[in-house]
A and B are shown apart, each in its own frame.
Chain A
Amino acid sequence: MPVEMNSQEKIWKHRDRKTQLTHWAIWFFGTALFVWCWQLVSEKTEWFFVLDAPTIAADIGSRMVPPRWEYIDKLWVPLWDTLNIATLGTLLALVLAVPVAFLAARNTSPSPTLLRPIALLVIVSSRSINSLIWSLLLVSILGPGVLAGIIAIALRSIGFVAKLLYEAIEEIDENQVEAIKTTGASRSQVIAYGIVPQILPTFVGVSVFRWDINIRESTVLGLVGAGGIGLQLQASLNILAWPQVTLILLMIFLTVLFSEWLSAKARHAII
């Protein structure tokens, strides 16, 4: 506890002088950076439109209700597609992520100098690029459709699953691995009986978690043509059919709530 002497009295201070100055400097430069950035954003903003926003929001709001309930007949197939994009994409990602994770983990990687950096690069590239950008790319290669969405979701999820999985592999209890090794087990048997049982709960947890995220992401892939309910959203927005937009948003909301409920159930059952 820093105490300063002021003539005769002892004065209690929250921080000593140096920390105080450092904190002050961080706050000063942080605030300056924020103000400067804000100014740049503000220069590019048409403030007239922003001031007008409440009127426009009220206008759009009034057009959005009531939702056009009849439109729901056209939403079941896109919803099914959305679900499939998320589920099949997650499954594909899991299949691809497991080998990547084993290559990336320090204790299981067959060649820490060559394959490990490559695996880490795969993980970082996959994580840096949003699934929407992946689908933009895949739509221009594979053409529009559900397949592009599935692969986009898979490519985005590999990094996420592999990263969490390889961290789990690095944190395993080596004694169990050793115990299996002393029985004369082969390399694949060591992995199957020494490592896999230890990371299985993490693996399942991460998969369910990613599936939940993917449901959310797959709802918008249609905006760039990669299938699912996003296609309907785009179509309705293009013709300014706000009552349909409301219904679509409502369906997305319910789907996401359902997936969250399901994944919470699944996680409780496992862990």
Chain B
Amino acid sequence: MNASRTWRPKPFIENPKLRWGITIGVLLYMLLALGSVEVNWMRIYAGLDRGLQFFAAFAQPNFTERWTDISEGLAESLVMTVVSTVIGIIISIPIALGASRNLAPLPIYLFCRAIITLSRTFQEVIIAILFVAIFGFGPFAGVLTISFATIGFLAKLLAEAIENIDPGQGEAVRSTGARWWQWLNYGIQPQVMPRLIGLSLYRLDINFRESAVVGLVGAGGIGATLNTAFDRYEFDTAAAILILIIGIVMFAEYSSSAIRKRVQ
């Protein structure tokens, strides 16, 4: 009796054993994971009041009371962003060249890839803690942290761009008798330059966001002010800072995407 054949959408995973295995595994994990999350309902109930206060504070952010602290913190964050992005780019370029398999011999390639992996693995804040311990409190530790984090991002993506270039152009330049340096400058650089500019602008954006965080561990910037505001439950000041951060990020995002459109 197959009169009522109905159509079903094709399952996402075709192999039924694998499908059920994954489903059961996921369910089991969810049970275990949700079971291990301890929720203190009393504490949450007590905190709800504070949560409401915070949302109310967003309606009436207080820019004036701590304005000197806020403006100094923001200025420091912006300055750190510029310095660390520039330093990050300057260091990233040679590392990206070293991490491109079509340019570098194997030992250099592995060494540069190791630096990239190291920089990408650790969250900025962990690096910031170590740098603060080594270089002392202040924006210098923050600048080093963000520069280091920039390397992992920029060098990796730039190396990918270099590996994907059209080798014909490089070969054409080389066949004119160009030296290694000229080959790099005229055969490869023009091909990856738009990508480099785009990535750098994007990273400028990210670095501003990061510079707001490293302050939490004493590495300079607006983060310290924000932390103090939360510690004192001054939610109106915290809301003001968050609104300013969001505003600056939005502005940076729009202007950088406008520039990127012109360049690419």
Contacts and interface: CB of A to CB of B under 8 A. Distances in A.
A129 B245 contact: yes
Interface string A225-244: 00000000100010000000
B37 A146 contact: yes
B246 A125 contact: yes
A57 B121 contact: no
B129 A237 contact: yes
A127 interface: yes
B122 A253 contact: yes
A219 B126 contact: yes
Contact of B233 (A56, A80, A140): A140
Contacts, number: 143
Interface stretch (A40-48, A67-75, A102-110, A170-178): A40-48
B249 interface: yes
B83 A41 contact: yes
Contacts of B44: 142-143, 147
Contacts of B139: 41, 44-45
Interface residues of B, number: 58
Interface in A208-236: 216-217, 219-220, 223-224, 233
Interface in B23-44: 29, 33-34, 36-40, 43-44
Nearest to B253: A124
B217 A130 contact: no
Contacts of A84: 33, 36-37
B147 to A, nearest CB: 11
A119 B250 CA distance: 14
A257 B40 CA distance: 33
A124 B233 contact: no
A262 to B, nearest CB: 13
A142 B47 contact: yes
B136 A49 contact: yes
Contacts of A143: 40, 43-44, 46-47
B242 interface: yes
Contacts of A133: 212-213, 216, 223, 226, 242
A252 interface: yes
Contacts of B46: 143
Contacts of B125: 132, 220, 223
Nearest to A248: B126
A198 B162 CA distance: 31
A257 B38 CA distance: 28
Interface string B137-148: 011100100000
Contacts of B37: 84, 88, 146-147, 150
A249 B130 CA distance: 11
Interface stretch (A3-11, A30-38, A93-101, A180-188): A30-38
Nearest to A140: B230
A141 B209 contact: no
B35 to A, nearest CB: 10
A217 B122 CA distance: 9
B121 A253 contact: yes
A44 B86 CA distance: 19
A194 interface: no
B123 interface: yes
B97 to A, nearest CB: 21
A233 B47 contact: no
Interface in A113-149: 124-125, 127-130, 132-133, 136-137, 140-143, 145-147
Given A34-B86, A41-B143, A217 B220 contact: no
Nearest to A120: B250
22 contacts: A38-B83, A41-B83, A45-B138, A45-B139, A45-B140, A84-B37, A87-B33, A124-B246, A125-B246, A130-B209, A133-B213, A133-B226, A140-B47, A141-B48, A141-B51, A141-B54, A143-B40, A223-B216, A249-B126, A252-B122, A253-B122, A256-B122
Interface of A: 33-34, 37-38, 40-42, 44-46, 49-50, 53, 56-57, 60, 80-81, 83-84, 87-88, 124-125, 127-130, 132-133, 136-137, 140-143, 145-147, 150, 193, 200, 216-217, 219-220, 223-224, 233, 237, 249, 252-253, 256-257
